[in-house]
Structure 1
Amino acid sequence: MSCRPSPPVFGPPRRHGTQRGAAVILALLTVALVAGIAAAAVGDLGVAMDQVMGRHDQAQARLLARGAVDWARNVLAEDARTNSVDHLGESWAVKVPPTPVEEGEVSGELQDLSGRININNLVQVDGASLFEVEQFRRLLAIVGVGEGDALNLTSALLDWLDADDTPRLPGGAESSWYEAQTPIRRPANGPLLAVSELAQVRGFTPDLVARLSPFVAALPADSKINVNTAPAEVLAAAIPGLSLDAARLLIVQRSRAWFKDLPDFKARLPSQDLNPDTNRLATTSRHFLATGRARFGVSMVRMEVLLDREQRWPTIVWQKLL
Structure 2
Amino acid sequence: MILVNVLLFVAIASGILLLMISAEDSGLERGLKMREAARAQAIARGGEVSAVVALRRDAAVAPDNDNRSEPWGALAERGAPIEGGSFDLAIADAQGRFNVNAVMQPDPVAAEALGRIAAAVGMTPEQTVRAVAAIRAAGPLTDIRPLGALGLAPAQVARLSGLLTALPYDSKINLNAASEDLLGIMTGDPMAARRIVALRDRQGYVTAADLASIDVAMPQGTGLTSNLFWVRTRVRIGDTSQQITSLIARKDDGMGGKAAAVVGRWMGASAPVQAPALP
User: What TM-score results when the alignment is normalised by the length of structure 1?
Assistant: 0.74
Q: How far apart are 1:297 and its partner, in Å?
A: 2.5
1:318 to 264, 269, 277: 264
Partner of 2:219: 276
Deviation, structure 1 residue 107: 2.4
Contact 1:113/1:287 (8 A) holds in 2 = yes
Task: Output one character per residue of 1:175-211: Cα deviation in whole Å (capped at 9) or x when no partner.
Answer: xxxxxxxxxxxxx2x2111223333x32245553332
1:214 aligns with 2:167: no
Does residue 28 of structure 1 match 2:7? yes
Q: Is the 8 A contact 2:100 2:166 kept in 1?
A: yes
2:175 is the alignment partner of 1:227: yes
Tell me the residue number matched to 1:86.
Answer: 66
Select the structure of larger CA radius of gyration. Answer: 1
SS of corresponding position for 1:313: strand
| Structure 2 stretches lacking a partner, 5+ long | 253-257, 269-279
Give, as a single letter, the amino acid of the residue that structure 2 aligns with 1:196. R
Letter in 1 for 2:206: F
**Deviation of 1:269 (Å):** 5.2
Tell me, in whole angstroms, the C-alpha distance in 2 between the residues paired with 1:236 and 1:50: 55
Residue 67, structure 1, aligned to residue 46, structure 2: yes
1:154 equivalent in structure 2: 128
Inter-CA distance 102–196: structure 2 relative to 1 (3 Å threshold): same
Matched letter for residue 276 of structure 1: P
1:115 equivalent to 2:63? Answer no
Amino acid at match of 1:91: P
Partner-residue secondary structure (3-state), 2:92: strand
The alpha-carbon deviation at position 319 of structure 1 amounts to 0.5
Alignment of 1:163-202 (within 5 A): 163=137, 188=138, 190-199=139-148, 201-202=149-150
- SS of 1:109's partner is strand
Classify the secondary structure of the residue corresponding to 2:157: helix
What secondary structure, in the 3-state scheme, does the structure 2 residue paired with 1:192 have? Answer: coil
Q: Given that residues 104 and 295 in structure 1 are in contact (C-alpha distance below 8 angstroms), is that contact kept between their aligned partners in structure 2? A: yes
Aligned residues: 260
Question: Per-residue CA shift, 1:138-176, capped at 9, x if unaligned?
Answer: 22343xx32xx332332222122224xxxxxxxxxxxxx
Q: Give the whole-Å Cα distance in 2 for the aligned partners of 1:140 and 1:133.
A: 10
Contact kept, 8 Å, 1:116 with 1:215, in 2: the verdict is yes
User: For the structure 1 residues 59 and 198, does the alpha-carbon distance in structure 2 shift closer, same or farther, using more than 3 Å as the test?
Assistant: farther
Tell me the distance in 1 between the aligned counterparts of 2:168 and 2:124: 24
The answer to whether the aligner puts 1:101 opposite 2:82 as a matched pair is yes
- Aligned residues of 1:136 and 1:237 also touching (Cα < 8 A): no
Shift of residue 265, structure 1, vs aligned partner: 5.5
Contact kept, 8 Å, 1:289 with 1:304, in 2: the verdict is yes
Q: 2:35 aligns with which of 50, 56, 78?
A: 56
Deviates more, 1:154-163 or 1:304-313: 154-163
Preserved contact between residue 232 and residue 243 of structure 2 (Cα < 8 Å): yes
Distance in 1, Cα, partners of 2:18 & 2:232: 44
- SS of 1:309 mapped into structure 2: strand
Amino acid at match of 1:243: D
| Inter-partner Cα distance in structure 2 for 1:75 and 1:38 | 55
With over 3 angstroms needed to count, the CA separation of the structure-2 counterparts of 1:24 and 1:69, relative to structure 1, is same
Work out the CA distance in 2 between the residues paired with 1:155 and 1:314.
Answer: 35
